[in-house]
A and B are shown apart, each in its own frame.
Chain A
Amino acid sequence: MADLIKIKQGLNIQMVGQAKEEYGRVSQSALIGFTPESFYGITPKPVAKVGDKVKVGSVLFIDKKNPDLKIVSPVSGELLAINRGERRKILDFVVQNDFKAEQAEIKPIDLNGSAEEVKSSLSDAGFLAFFKQRPYDVCIAPTDSPRAIFISAFDKAPLAPNLDFILKDEVSNFQAGINAISKIAPVYVGVEKGCSWAAQLQNATVTQFEGDYPASNVGVQINKVAPINRGEIVWTIAPQEVAIIGRFVNKGILDFTKIVAFCGENAATPAYYKVVMGSSVATIAKANVLEGRKLRYIAGNPLSGTQVSADAWLNPFVSQLTVLPEGDDTHELIGWIMPRFNKFSLNGSFLSGLCSCLRNKCKYSFDARVLGGERHMIMSGEYDKVFPMDIYPEYLIKAIISGNIERMEELGIYEVAPEDFAAAEFVCSSKVELQKIVREGLDMLRKEMC
């Protein structure tokens, strides 16, 4: 049986609007789009020209520095537009879907080939863009030889999709995907304790985890299983993307369909939706939200996702689309003294903070308000309670704020991604923007190192 790692630190936020475990009706959109921002760290260089006919697997653009990092079209049709913004910065690539799903000719992945051969096959099929690397939490450089590849096959974020439900029909594809990528580096899969299908997995080291969010963050799992040292590179990939690779291995066709959980207080029919990568937010959310208040659409979970507009392209790598009320129309009177029984807090000045059973049983309403002014860090030890890594988060943040690169390295910045600080940012009573700070720190370091 796989090893079990128990994680004490973390928090369990029960929110209103969990997706029901059923598939919602969705009409696939005729337009598919990618913004280069979804591929953090790359400089896009268009390959296809506007007006070109594209097939499933035709290259749309590549990374200027790493030409083997190809982003391919998930549908067949025509490249409709490459929209540019200020200083000709590419905003997005838009493809008209002809719904014929014509496949480009991509040579199959040879599972008996060398690491380089497998890598090159994955590159041709556009699969290398699915990976991210630590350190820096950016797209990979295909020339690197990673020490390991980590997959987290469960999600404990608020309103997160049940990956067991998503993967239940895809286990053979997931396995095939692992078989392929395990040629590049040893694969580690983190599953939740009691996962039914994990025991059969081969070609991967399976570790069971027990604990609240962020135990499901791949960064936490790396830190617990085999922490990253300076100079090492670890790749990460999400389970649905592994299954997409596996479909190609098993059936020889490129199928970029994935399942996205639509959730949140203002989702009219919170459920799971099958969409093609690159679909717009509107594909799922249009006429499917409870109107009446200003809404916030979040690609990903409410803690580490990114805000998107209702007509934006959905980041192809998220498995969750959350809709919450913005909340700027709410004015709570003298919040510093009112009991506020219906509020979620880990602090003991709230009922929910005093009684963890209440916190775990009740579902809480949230909006996007910060609920306080930003201050210097005042309380100590707040972050430690929700930060399971062997790192002093407060000191790392201070090193980043002061721009002290050497100290950042010493304190373990190579092991973290902004999302690992999401829970700490949630609980911070000084309302410090931790994820933004970590992102800036990683960018600063990357600029210095590369």
Chain B
Amino acid sequence: MNALRNLLDKIKPTFSEGGKLSMFRSVFDGFETFLFVPNSTSKSGAHIHDAVDSKRIMIMVVIALMPALLFGMYNVGYQHYLSIGQHEVTSFFEIFFYGLLAVLPKIIVTYLVGLGIEFTVAQFKGEEIHEGFLVTGIILPMIVPVDCPLWILALATAFAVIFAKEIFGGTGMNIFNVALIARAFLFFAYPSKMSGDSVWIRTDSTFGIGEGAVVDGFTGATPLGQVAVSTGSEAQITDALGNASSIWDAVIGLVPGSIGETSVIAIALGAILLLVTRIASWKVMLSIFASGALTAFLFNIAGLDNPVANLPWYYHLSLGGFAFGAVFMATDPVTSARTETGKWIYGILIGFMAIVIRVLNPGYPEGMMLAILLMNGLAPAIDYFVVQRNVSMRAKRAKIQK
């Protein structure tokens, strides 16, 4: 540790202002604070500080995402071997390894593109590097289909980081969740790569692993996609081979879908970490699930006779991006409502809107993304009214006094 410290101290002048490599000051600073807690002391105000900083908070979120990511990798492999009919003869590790190889390039590409832009902007503005992209960069590969091409992903990352974050002033100033903007960009600019039946399961081999022909009767649609296009009043959800899926498949997560969103159990593990560390708001999570369940239940009994409306409420909560969005994306403190009262309203409206979009707009089987983006936009307004109550209370008090 001391050797490392000495090395950093030795090369620090080169990167400081006036040094040869001062153009990489922010990058050096980023690595230095990554290795060591900054030793800068307080210049004004409080002399002692809480040990937490935004780096630790962001890393906690990344850790919370790990179960869903690791399971997502396994599921990518599982869906692949299922579709080529070899899932029973392939070992657990092979299945996982296939998924790892399929997913890893996506993570690398988003981090390279996103961090590259972050580093450049930080250096340009002479600021420290903000940690926000650590989370965005891991969420983004988890909310796209496995067959989304890398160049499109890179494009979406660049678009979102620049237009959803940096032009607003960086992490903490953005209005919309950066990862969701990237997903929305993909959804509207490249719909064929983001929806349909052919992108959710990787049927090709990856780096030469997992070769095989797709079995007869293969369908690659997500459960929500199947429900949206099914005729009659009740939908029959099947897996890639056409066998009926149960609610347990959805809870465990062995269904087609975006890489990280399928397993309710893995997401729940992350949710526990976020709630125990109090990094995510339990109010937002609870209100989304409660209002989503209630809205779906009301559609169940309302007599609107189509497969989506008749889909039981617990299916709605377990399928698609509902759980993932509620736990990891709606709770983003920057884009969520910031007042405590506002968080309840924000969460309730997200749960409600997500189900309404799913049921009433057959063009978008996945309503969660749009619901969260919509409420990101409305969150400042919610907060405004909450704060305004305090303002008018104060104005009223002043009047009574006079």
Contact = CB atoms under 8 A, between A and B. Distances in A.
A307 interface: yes
B54 A331 contact: no
Given A332-B36, A412-B394, A345 B51 contact: yes
B46 A302 contact: yes
A425 B387 contact: no
Given A345-B52, A378-B132, A381-B339, 8 more contacts: A229-B397, A335-B36, A340-B51, A370-B38, A375-B172, A381-B340, A394-B338, A425-B46
A200 interface: no
Nearest to A366: B48
B35 to A, nearest CB: 6
17 contacts: A229-B402, A230-B398, A304-B46, A334-B36, A335-B55, A337-B56, A345-B51, A349-B277, A369-B39, A370-B41, A373-B54, A376-B130, A380-B281, A390-B390, A392-B339, A426-B49, A433-B44
A303 interface: yes
Nearest to B60: A349
B19 interface: no
Contact of B172 (A329, A371, A430): A430
B171 interface: yes
Most buried by A among B50, B169, B394, B402: B50
B291 interface: no
B335 to A, nearest CB: 10
B401 A328 contact: no
Contact of A431 (B49, B59, B169): B49
A227 B53 contact: no
A227 B397 contact: yes
A418 B44 CA distance: 11
B387 A395 contact: yes
How many of chain A's residues touch chain B, expressed as a range? Answer: 35 or more
A331 B4 CA distance: 11
A346 B36 contact: no
Interface residues of B, number: 63
A333 B36 contact: yes
A369 B39 CA distance: 6
Interface string A97-121: 0000000000000000000000000
B180 to A, nearest CB: 17
B390 to A, nearest CB: 6
Interface in B368-402: 383, 387, 390-391, 393-395, 397-398, 401-402
Interface of A: 13, 15, 158, 227, 229-232, 296, 298, 302-305, 307, 322, 324, 326-337, 340, 343-350, 353-354, 366-381, 384, 390-392, 394-395, 410-412, 418, 421-422, 425-431, 433-436
Contacts of B54: 372-373, 375, 378-379, 429-430
Contact of B47 (A302, A335, A427, A436): A302
B322 to A, nearest CB: 23
A244 B125 CA distance: 53
B278 A328 contact: no
A381 B39 contact: no
A331 B39 contact: yes
Given A331-B39, A335-B36, A373-B33, A379 B48 contact: no
